[in-house]
Amino acid sequence: MSSSTSIRHLRHLSTTAKSAISISKAKSKLRTEHDPDKALEIYSSVSDHYSSPTISRYAQDLTVRRLAKSRRFGDIEALIESHKKDPKIKQESYLSTLIRSYGRAGMFDHALRTFDQMDQLGTPRSVISFNSLLSACNQSKLFDKVPQLFDEIPKKYGVTPDKVSYGILVKAYCEAGSPQRAIEIVGEMEKNGLEITAVTYTTIVDALYKKGQAEEAEKLWKTMVDKGCEVDVAAYNVRIMHSHGGEPENVKALIDKMSDAGLKPDTISYNYLMTCYCRSGKMDEAKKVYEGLEGNGCKPNAATFRTLIYYLCKNDDFEKGYKIFKKSVQVHKIPDFNTLKHLVEGLVKKKKIKEAKGMIRTFKKKFPPNVLNSWRKVEESLGLASASSDTHSASDEDEEAAA
What's the rounded mean pLDDT across residues 189-198?
Answer: 92
**pLDDT computed for residue 336 by the predictor:** 85
pLDDT in tens, 21-30: 666 676 677 6
Q: How confident is the model at residue 386 (pLDDT cuts 50, 70, 90)?
A: low
Q: Is the dihedral of CA 84, 85, 91, 97 positive or negative?
A: negative
pLDDT, position 23: 64
Whether 105 contacts 34, CB under 8 Å: no
Q: Provide mean pLDDT across the span 35-61.
A: 66
Per-residue pLDDT at 191: 93
Tell me the pTM: 0.77
d(CA 17, CA 378): 44
Helix axes 73-82, 108-116, angle to 10 degrees: 20
> What does the pLDDT average to over 204-218?
93
Among 19-23, 243-247, 268-272, 362-366, name the most confident range.
268-272
Confidence band for 18, pLDDT divided at 50, 70 and 90: very low
pLDDT at 99 over 80: yes
pLDDT at residue 398, as a whole number: 42
Question: How far is Cα 300 from Cα 277, in angstroms, rounded to an integer?
Answer: 16
Look at 227 and 22; give whichever has higher pLDDT: 227
**CA 366 from centroid of its chain's CA atoms:** 19
The rounded distance, in Å, linking the Cα atoms of 177 and 185 is 14
Q: Which residues contact 158 (CB under 8 A, 6 or more apart)?
A: none
Q: Where are the domains of the chain?
A: 22-160
Mean pLDDT of all residues in 271-280: 93
Looking at every residue in the chain, the average pLDDT score rounds to 84
Q: For 355-375, how does the pLDDT look when each residue is reduced to its tens digit (9 = 90+)?
A: 988 888 887 777 766 667 777
